[in-house]
């Protein structure tokens, strides 16, 4: 029995960059959530403001979006109390659902700041409703605003946007419209906490591609010397694929591309994105998906251009 928790947060940040606290770049001011049953029907809601502790002046850009009264917020409860109530309300084994990929990272960052027990020991699986909307209703690549999706479905905008509970309710309604068994296979992973070793690394197969999330490495070069990072297995059958175009970076090291070929399922594009950990180490998010011969020719041309630039 699923326990879907559709979550939205509102937060503040330093009014001036020089006043930013590295361990709390975004301070949560409001938690809103909707609980859904197996039929994706709303069974309960959660809505609570949070007393700010770190940033007691509202960032001007945040104020334009949220229109919150800082004096009123100072009468609210501190984050640990609100968060404890929220986790109790969520119940056992919640499946978090969010619009986009930011909320769970900020939630865990705030929990860390107050020394609370973590939500997970590694990458946290969740449902990114924004991504599912793109896969189910558009091209699978675009990332639209919540307001756009509400308009797309001709929903009555009966709550203000940029209010945590209102945005959670809109997200829940969109999720209920688009969720089906095929889309729900596309689970996302929040990487606020990374695999600590090889055994904890993420290897997951989706209907149209596969994904790998690595443990941290000291550098990009160290990552690209690891066999699990550079090895390409077919995203359909899992067999080891033969390299056709060597790994190269067309982007100054932000990501690397390669092409391999499976005997049964043809050409595969592998893309390894280099991402920074909070301690400035590097981890890798690699995706592998089938491609056609035209795509292979384009990648091969990009490879040749990158080699020319390297020799200059």
- Residue 157, pLDDT score: 84
Mean pLDDT of 203-219: 97
Burial class of 271 by CB neighbour count within 10 A (0 to 12, 13 to 18, 19+):
middle
**pLDDT above 70: percentage of residues in the chain:** 100
CA atoms within 13 A on the CB side of 156: 1
Sequence-distant (≥ 6) Cβ neighbours of residue 181 within 8 angstroms: none
- Residue 258, pLDDT score: 98
pLDDT in tens, 52-93: 999 999 999 888 888 888 899 999 999 999 999 999 999 999
Contact 104, 173 (CB under 8 A): no
Asked whether the predicted pLDDT for residue 1 surpasses 80, the reply is no
Sequence-distant (≥ 6) Cβ neighbours of residue 148 within 8 angstroms: none
pLDDT in tens, 235-278: 999 999 999 999 999 988 899 999 999 999 999 999 999 999 99
pLDDT in tens, 158-179: 888 889 999 999 999 999 999 8
Contact 53, 78 (CB under 8 A): yes
Domains identified in the chain and CATH numbers: 4-185 (3.30.420.10), 194-311 (3.30.530)
- Any idea of the CA torsion for 260, 265, 269, 272, to the nearest 10 degrees? -80
What is the enclosing helix (H) or strand (E) of 130?
A: helix 129-137
Comparing C-alpha atoms, which of 190, 217, 212, 185 is closest to residue 200? 212
- Residue 2, pLDDT score: 80
Q: Pick 308 or 168 by higher pLDDT.
A: 168
Contact 76, 31 (CB under 8 A): no
Asked whether the predicted pLDDT for residue 312 surpasses 90, the reply is no
Average pLDDT, the chain: 95
What is the enclosing helix (H) or strand (E) of 32?
A: strand 27-36
Tokens in use for 48? Answer: 């609570």
Comparing C-alpha atoms, which of 123, 119, 101 is closest to residue 109? 119
DSSP string computed for 208-270:
S-EEEEPPPBSSHHHHTTSHHHH--B-TTT-PBPEEEEEEE-SSTTSEEEEEEEETTTEEEEE
How many angstroms from the chain centroid is the CA of residue 63? Answer: 25
- Residue 171, pLDDT score: 98
For the entire predicted model, the pTM comes to 0.93
- Residue 229, pLDDT score: 97
């Amino acid at each position: 029995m699923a326990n879907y928790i559709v979550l939205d947060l509102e937060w503040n940040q330093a009014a001036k960059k020089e006043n930013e606290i590295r361990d709390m770049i975004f301070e949560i001011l409001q938690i809103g959530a909707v609980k859904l049953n197996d039929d994706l029907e709303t069974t309960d809601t959660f809505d609570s403001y949070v007393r700010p502790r770190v940033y007691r002046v509202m960032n001007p850009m945040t104020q334009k979006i949220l229109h919150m009264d800082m004096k009123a917020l100072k009468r609210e409860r501190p984050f640990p109390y609100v968060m404890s109530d929220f986790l109790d309300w969520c119940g056992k084994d919640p499946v978090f659902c969010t619009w986009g990929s930011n909320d769970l990272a900020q939630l865990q960052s705030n929990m860390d700041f107050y020394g609370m027990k973590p939500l997970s020991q590694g990458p946290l699986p969740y449902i990114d409703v924004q991504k599912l909307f793109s896969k189910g209703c558009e091209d699978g690549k675009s990332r639209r605003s919540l307001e756009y999706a509400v308009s797309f479905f001709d929903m009555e905008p009966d709550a203000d946007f940029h209010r945590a509970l209102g945005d959670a309710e809109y997200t829940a309604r969109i999720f209920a419209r688009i969720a089906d068994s095929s889309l729900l296979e596309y689970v996302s992973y929040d990487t606020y906490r990374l695999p600590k070793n090889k055994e904890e690394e993420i290897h997951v197969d989706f209907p149209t591609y596969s994904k790998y999330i690595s443990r941290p490495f000291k550098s990009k070069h160290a990552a690209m010397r690891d066999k699990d990072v550079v090895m390409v297995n077919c995203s359909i059958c899992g067999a080891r694929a033969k390299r056709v175009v060597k790994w190269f970076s067309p982007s100054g090291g932000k990501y690397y591309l390669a092409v391999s070929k499976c005997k049964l399922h043809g050409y595969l594009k592998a893309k390894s994105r280099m991402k920074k950990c909070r301690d400035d180490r590097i981890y890798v998010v690699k995706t592998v998906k089938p491609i056609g011969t035209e795509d292979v020719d384009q990648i091969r041309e990009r490879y040749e251009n990158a080699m020319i630039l390297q020799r200059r």
